[in-house]
């Protein structure tokens, strides 16, 4: 499937979660054709440009459209016509005003490198070009596009359908806004009274809006909720695990871009916890790849001493405590086989050495534990046979030791042990 290109709007709209929400939108249907601006009623003046209003945003408010000129005068060559409702950015303003018809105003040079008469511009978009959004909603912009463009982006409807279905499960209603053939620019007025303008040409945007807050972008080309879990949770003030459960989603993807290093981690909901599915691979000072081979970092993640492991997880995640590891083991043990088989259920089905009489990992809960081995200084051992993971908990009777977990190829359990803090073990992060 092709991936969807998500492009930010001038103002992104945000997904809102209130479990009894509704949406409302209003729009007039006036779609006048562009036309010439009125001719000058006086002899054009010679004017010079000044930058007093540079950077100001304005909108065409004449339904006939507004002519673009090569000079700040009706004698300037006509370069084209700006349609009704078009947004322009002012770069310069003429030093003196001019009278055209019954209107006296300045000329403005725009970001289209042309001059337009200011009498047919306004600081706010025309009301009949505005769609009013006054409820918490998931907004989907359907762009102006041709047949070939639709064919090339056939996955758009699939991903959009997944997203609206999940948002419906958490109580958020979706609305579609169709750009149409002539309405390239749409404006939104939110409950704060502020207007947001969107250029809909060849843009696909999904916007989450909660009443009383600024809107935010939502990318849906991976997992609709899972791929945006952190931002949606923070924006809505809802716990991540609550969002995932209501959306009936069991996983997602997290992107760690700290210090210029880009790593992505899948995560999975197990019981009442959200765990990363891969070992951490953040190059914290002192961390190492197994055997000092960079290729092993991509396979097993990096190895950390206990002090470094405590600080290595990204914001919103942390090194799990001894108790949190125990909760994981209990969640996968169930009431059938007990904790003796927790390791088998958490192990990846690949990458482990085999042992007669010991079943291979089933990865039943998608935890995908791998046998990354352990290290001490520049010495490493046990890759392929065992995996070691730090907990954040010190031993209560020995402050020089900390608890860790171990899984091995020759048994089915998750072993709990303590050891001194200097060895290099793997790290699995759990969501806050």
Burial class (CB in 10 A: 0-12, 13-18, 19+), 359: exposed
User: DSSP states of 306-345 as a string?
Assistant: HHHHHHHSPTTEEPPPHHHHHHHHHHHHTTTT-GGGHHHH
State the DSSP code for 40: P
* Per-position pLDDT tens, the chain of length 432: 333 333 333 333 333 333 223 333 333 233 333 434 444 444 344 344 455 556 788 888 888 889 999 999 999 999 988 888 788 889 999 999 999 989 999 999 998 889 999 999 998 877 776 666 777 888 887 655 544 444 344 566 777 888 888 899 988 988 777 655 445 545 555 555 555 555 555 444 677 888 778 778 887 766 778 888 888 999 999 999 999 999 888 999 998 988 777 899 999 999 999 999 999 999 999 999 999 999 999 999 999 999 999 999 999 999 999 999 999 999 998 644 446 889 999 999 999 999 999 999 999 999 999 999 999 999 999 999 999 999 999 999 999 999 999 999 999 999 999 999 999 999 999 999
Q: What are phi and psi of 20, to 5 degrees?
A: -135, 55
| Cα–Cα distance list, 65 to 174, 208, 239, 307 (Å) | 33, 33, 49, 66
pLDDT per residue over 5-48, tens digit each? Answer: 333 333 333 333 332 233 333 332 333 334 344 444 443 443 44
The residue length of the chain stands at 432
- Is the Cβ–Cβ distance between 185 and 85 less than 8 Å? yes
Contacts of residue 323, Cβ cutoff 8 Å, sequence gap at least 6: 393
**Helix (H) or strand (E) segment spanning residue 155:** helix 155-169
**What gap in Å lies between CA 42 and CA 295, rounded to an integer?**
76
State the DSSP code for 85: T
**What gap in Å lies between CA 226 and CA 252, rounded to an integer?**
4
In order of their start, the domains of the chain are 49-127 (2.30.30.40), 133-240 (3.40.30), 256-431 (no CATH)
């Amino acid at each position: 499937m092709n991936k969807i290109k998500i492009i930010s709007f001038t103002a992104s709209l945000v997904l809102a979660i209130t479990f009894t929400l509704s949406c409302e939108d209003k729009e007039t249907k006036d779609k006048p054709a562009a036309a010439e601006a009125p001719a000058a009623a006086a002899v054009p003046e010679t004017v010079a440009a000044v930058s007093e209003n540079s950077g100001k945003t304005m909108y065409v408010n004449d339904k006939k459209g507004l002519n673009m000129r090569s000079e700040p005068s009706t004698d300037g060559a006509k370069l084209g016509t700006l349609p009704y409702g078009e947004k322009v950015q002012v770069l310069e303003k003429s030093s003196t005003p001019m009278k055209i018809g019954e209107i006296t105003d300045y000329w403005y040079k725009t970001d289209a490198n042309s001059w337009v008469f200011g009498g047919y511009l306004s600081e706010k978009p025309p009301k009949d070009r505005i769609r009013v959004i006054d409820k918490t909603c998931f907004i989907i912009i359907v762009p102006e596009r041709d047949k070939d463009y639709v064919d090339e982006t056939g996955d758009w409807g699939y991903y959009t359908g997944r997203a609206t279905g999940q948002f419906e499960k958490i109580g958020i209603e979706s609305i579609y806004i169709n750009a149409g053939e002539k309405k390239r620019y749409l404006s939104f007025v939110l409950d704060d009274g502020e207007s947001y303008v969107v250029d809909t040409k060849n843009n696909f945007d999904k916007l989450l809006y909660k009443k009383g807050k600024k809107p935010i972008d939502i990318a849906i080309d991976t997992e609709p909720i899972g791929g945006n879990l952190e931002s949606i949770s923070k924006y809505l003030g809802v716990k991540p695990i609550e969002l995932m459960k209501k959306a009936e989603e069991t996983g997602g993807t997290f992107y760690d871009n700290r210090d210029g290093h880009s790593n992505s981690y899948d995560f999975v909901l197990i019981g009442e916890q959200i765990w990363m599915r891969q070992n951490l691979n953040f190059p914290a000072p002192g961390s190492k790849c197994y055997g000092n081979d960079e290729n092993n970092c991509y396979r097993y993640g990096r190895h950390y001493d206990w002090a470094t492991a405590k600080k290595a997880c990204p914001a919103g995640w942390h090194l799990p405590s001894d108790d949190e590891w125990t909760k994981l083991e209990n969640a996968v043990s169930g009431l059938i086989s007990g904790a003796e088989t927790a390791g088998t259920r958490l192990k990846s089905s690949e990458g482990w050495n085999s042992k007669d009489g010991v079943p291979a990992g089933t990865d039943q809960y998608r935890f995908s534990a791998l046998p990354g081995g352990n290290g001490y200084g520049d010495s490493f051992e046990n890759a392929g046979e065992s995996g070691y993971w730090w907990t954040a908990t010190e031993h209560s009777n020995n402050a020089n030791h900390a608890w860790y977990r171990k899984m091995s190829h020759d048994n089915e359990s998750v072993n709990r042990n303590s050891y001194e803090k200097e060895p290099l073990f793997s790290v699995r992060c759990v969501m806050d």
